[in-house]
Amino acid sequence: MYSTLCLVAVFQGVFLLNSITCQRTKIHAEHMLTTNIGELSFDYETLLNAIHKEKAYDSLLIIHQTSPSKEKFLEVFTKYQAVEVPRLTMMPHGPQFSYKALYNSEIIVIILMAGKVDKTSMHYLAEALDYMRQTRILMVATNAGDFEDFKKQMLNLCESHMMINVLLSYHNISQNSSIQMFAGLHRLMPYPNYHWQLASFSTHHNHSLYPRHWLNMHNKTLRTFPDQFPPMSFVYSDSHGQLHVSGFSGLLVLAFAEHYNAHLEMYEPLVEGKLVHWVEISQMIKDRLIDLPMSIEETGSGSWHNMSSYVTVNRASFMVPLTPQFTLKEIFALLLDGYFLGSVLIFSLLLSFMHTLTKFVFEGTLEYFDFVINSKVMPGVLGQSFVEQQFTHLIGLRMIYFFVGFVGLNISTQFSANIHSYFTWPPYHRQFEEYRDLEHSSVTILMEGTDSVILSDWVEVHENITTHTENVTFFLVARQELNTSHGYIIESELWDIYNRRQEYFQRKVFHVPRGMTYFDMMVWGLRLQYNSPYKEAVDWFILNAHQMGFMDAWITQTYLDMSKSKRVPSHDPNAAVESQVLTVQHLYWVWILLTVVWLSSFLAFLMELLIHRCCCRNKKKNDLKRRIQL
């Protein structure tokens, strides 16, 4: 019984406390609803102070028309903290300007209207607040007649100009200068649909006058659409045939809608694999067909007024195929290169000349062909043995034979080492490092039609190494399947995915050379509608997504989804290396060399026969002349 009485007493105390609080709020509201001109400055000064306390502003922008009833209101706002807070007072028929183009500060706008809805002032205000329509606005209206119709018209104007932070204060000024504020303050509520809500203002309660409406969009419908260019966004079907959206920009928009309680609606039904270039998505945004795209856009040197905060910063480069290894046929050509043949030729001629000259000086024997081809020197230079018919006591000849053996050992050792290394691990052809390397190659840069237009300056300079196609699907499939007939332009996020996939290959197929970088830094963001009311919410969400690491998680999720939906290279184009027996085709250059040697030997043989016959014929003639003379 005692506990029951205590509980009743507690409820009684709570009820009385709430009654007293409500009474105080009612008294304060009545003070705001009915006051005289002398007390008006106190009320609006209190309101502006509360707005400043909620979120500081740097200046006031006051828009008004000349009216006797509004001069009193204008004086209230012009005298408000005249020294501390700068203000700009304008009339609708004055020169048009954009506030953001001249100043970049947090402001509060006060617009004064009398009698009826002033569409001219609203249009002037919208132009002045270009790219900052979400600025806090305080509308002060007097003698509007039908207040409900006035609110309806103002609601339509605010919606058409995409203004979301609006407070409406209405007064009816009587003959004896007493003021009545009908229905108190009204706050504009933009979600899910534009409507007015009665706002309570009290210095005793911490109620937000300009709340962040986008924190809860109340299931507001936002139209969106993916471009289906991985890894930005793409559509795939699961094992049950249901379509899902992935890609880091697609996952970003999905998370944004879930976090802020918005409903996403596709611009048109999703079709897996339907490609829409970001240029077309951008045009849909400009035509107000889409509210928030699942596609990112690079602005270059353009304006960021209609762009979200940066989603990603990357680099645009050209991926080109890695050159293959030398074949066995090419290895023999590499072994029998100019360095090898030149070394054999130079040392043979030099040592042959020294050997023949030494023999002639000290032994008196001379064979002219020994200056070019010496049967003692040539085998030794090639690392073969040779036979000296008689022992020589000449130290010079012994030194020459020593040099012949040393040169032969050096050449044969290097040749054997090269054969072992080249056959064990064949070298690669020279890699593509710069654009000019492609000029003498069959590899060209494949470019999709829209990209060719965007990169027209680059294409004009490198026309001889580019190939164009209007088939976007062909371009994406060729790049995805790592078709080595072409090179492709690629952003760093997609290249990271492809490069990660190549780690499972026997050997990487493509690479991105530093000399083929198109843009070192590209900043990408979401294209938004002109003066989009969602810019602040999107910027805030993207900033927090970067700070919390969600962007990295979405890129990883994109890689997994691309792997599951087979949108990454899955086939290793490198053939497995198997042991094989050398065939005639592999010894192509060996046969060429042997053929040249055989032909040279045959020609030398014919020349010797010809010279021998000529010599014999001359000898016979000389013998015949001697006999005749005798």
In this structure, are 198 and 277 located in the same domain? Answer: no
* Span 207-225, pLDDT tens digits: 788 999 999 999 999 999 9
* Span 268-305, pLDDT tens digits: 999 998 889 888 999 999 999 999 999 999 876 567 88
Q: What is the pLDDT of residue 539?
A: 95
Q: What is the pLDDT of residue 82?
A: 65
**Which stretch of 417-421, 435-439, 472-476 has the lowest confidence by average pLDDT?**
417-421
In this structure, are 533 and 603 located in the same domain? Answer: no
Max CA separation in the chain (angstroms): 174
Q: What is the pLDDT of residue 578?
A: 65
**Bigger pLDDT: 129 vs 71:** 129
Number of domains in the chain: 4
Six token digits for residue 94: 């004055």
Mean pLDDT to the nearest integer, 100-111: 81
Residue 13 has pLDDT above 80, yes or no: no
Six token digits for residue 300: 């270059």
**Which stretch of 110-114, 314-318, 512-516, 549-553 has the lowest confidence by average pLDDT?**
110-114
Percent of the chain whose pLDDT exceeds 70? 84
Six token digits for residue 416: 């054997």
Please state, in angstroms and rounded to a whole number, the distance separating the CA atoms of residues 463 and 435.
11
Which of 347, 346, 375 has its CA nearest to residue 359?
A: 375
Residue 31 has pLDDT above 70, yes or no: no
| Residue 41 CB-density burial (10 A; 0-12 exposed, 13-18 middle, 19+ buried) | middle
Tell me whether residue 332 is in a domain.
Answer: yes
Q: What is the pLDDT of residue 594?
A: 82
**Which stretch of 22-26, 171-175, 389-393 has the lowest confidence by average pLDDT?**
22-26
Percent of the chain whose pLDDT exceeds 90? 34
Mean pLDDT to the nearest integer, 377-388: 77
Tell me whether residue 482 is in a domain.
Answer: yes
Query: 491 — phi, psi (to 5°)?
Result: -90, 160
**Which stretch of 20-24, 96-100, 246-250, 387-391 has the lowest confidence by average pLDDT?**
20-24
In this structure, are 480 and 420 located in the same domain? Answer: no
Work out the end-to-end distance of the chain between its first and last CA atoms, rounded to an integer number of angstroms: 174
Q: What is the pLDDT of residue 528?
A: 93
Cβ-contact 62, 90 below 8 angstroms: yes
User: How many contiguous H segments (helices) and E segments (strands) does the chain have?
Assistant: 19, 20
Tell me whether residue 146 is in a domain.
Answer: yes
Mean pLDDT to the nearest integer, 513-531: 91
Where residue 579 falls among pLDDT bands split at 50, 70, 90?
low
Burial per residue of 112-128, b for 16 or more beta-carbon CB atoms within 10 angstroms, e otherwise: bbbeebbeebbebbbeb
Residue 575 has pLDDT above 70, yes or no: no
Q: Strand, helix or coil at 507?
A: coil
Query: 262 — phi, psi (to 5°)?
Result: -115, 155
pTM, two decimals, is 0.76
Tell me whether residue 24 is in a domain.
Answer: no
Query: Which domain, by its residues, includes 618?
Result: 599-630
**Which stretch of 98-107, 470-479, 482-491 has the lowest confidence by average pLDDT?**
98-107
Mean pLDDT to the nearest integer, 402-424: 85
* Mean confidence (pLDDT) of the chain: 82
Please state, in angstroms and rounded to a whole number, the distance separating the CA atoms of residues 163 and 535.
12
Q: Which of 408, 424, 440 is the last residue of a domain?
A: 424
Where residue 377 falls among pLDDT bands split at 50, 70, 90?
confident
Q: What is the pLDDT of residue 29?
A: 36
Q: What is the pLDDT of residue 347?
A: 87
Q: Which of 392, 424, 456 is the last residue of a domain?
A: 424
Any bridge partners for residue 139, and if so which? 111, 168
Residue 153 has pLDDT above 70, yes or no: yes
Q: What is the pLDDT of residue 6?
A: 45
Where residue 529 falls among pLDDT bands split at 50, 70, 90?
very high
Tell me whether residue 584 is in a domain.
Answer: no
Q: What is the pLDDT of residue 390?
A: 63
**Which stretch of 145-159, 339-353, 395-409, 577-591 has the lowest confidence by average pLDDT?**
577-591
Q: What is the pLDDT of residue 300?
A: 64
**Bigger pLDDT: 579 vs 139:** 139
* Span 310-333, pLDDT tens digits: 999 999 999 999 998 888 778 877
In this structure, are 44 and 114 located in the same domain? Answer: yes
Tell me whether residue 17 is in a domain.
Answer: no
**Which stretch of 288-302, 373-387, 496-510 has the lowest confidence by average pLDDT?**
373-387
In this structure, are 460 and 565 located in the same domain? Answer: yes
In this structure, are 319 and 339 located in the same domain? Answer: no
In this structure, are 183 and 217 located in the same domain? Answer: no
Cβ-contact 507, 577 below 8 angstroms: no
In this structure, are 76 and 64 located in the same domain? Answer: yes
Which of 226, 309, 247 has its CA nearest to residue 494?
A: 247
Mean pLDDT to the nearest integer, 197-207: 70
What's the CATH code of the domain at 121?
Answer: 3.40.50
**Which stretch of 16-30, 455-469, 483-497 has the lowest confidence by average pLDDT?**
16-30
**Which stretch of 102-106, 520-524, 525-529 has the lowest confidence by average pLDDT?**
102-106
In this structure, are 169 and 57 located in the same domain? Answer: yes
Mean pLDDT to the nearest integer, 510-539: 92
What's the CATH code of the domain at 292?
Answer: 3.40.190.290
Tell me whether residue 21 is in a domain.
Answer: no
Tell me whether residue 15 is in a domain.
Answer: no
In this structure, are 63 and 88 located in the same domain? Answer: yes
Q: Which of 424, 454, 486 is the last residue of a domain?
A: 424
Q: What is the pLDDT of residue 104?
A: 66
Q: What is the pLDDT of residue 115?
A: 72
In this structure, are 141 and 121 located in the same domain? Answer: yes
DSSP, res 536: H
Mean pLDDT to the nearest integer, 503-518: 90
Q: What is the pLDDT of residue 520?
A: 87
Query: 16 — phi, psi (to 5°)?
Result: -65, -40
Residue 421 has pLDDT above 90, yes or no: no
Q: What is the pLDDT of residue 408?
A: 86
**Which stretch of 146-150, 221-225, 392-396, 546-550 has the lowest confidence by average pLDDT?**
392-396
In this structure, are 219 and 176 located in the same domain? Answer: no
Residue 173 has pLDDT above 70, yes or no: no
**Bigger pLDDT: 530 vs 14:** 530
Mean pLDDT to the nearest integer, 416-438: 87
* Span 234-249, pLDDT tens digits: 999 988 889 999 999 9
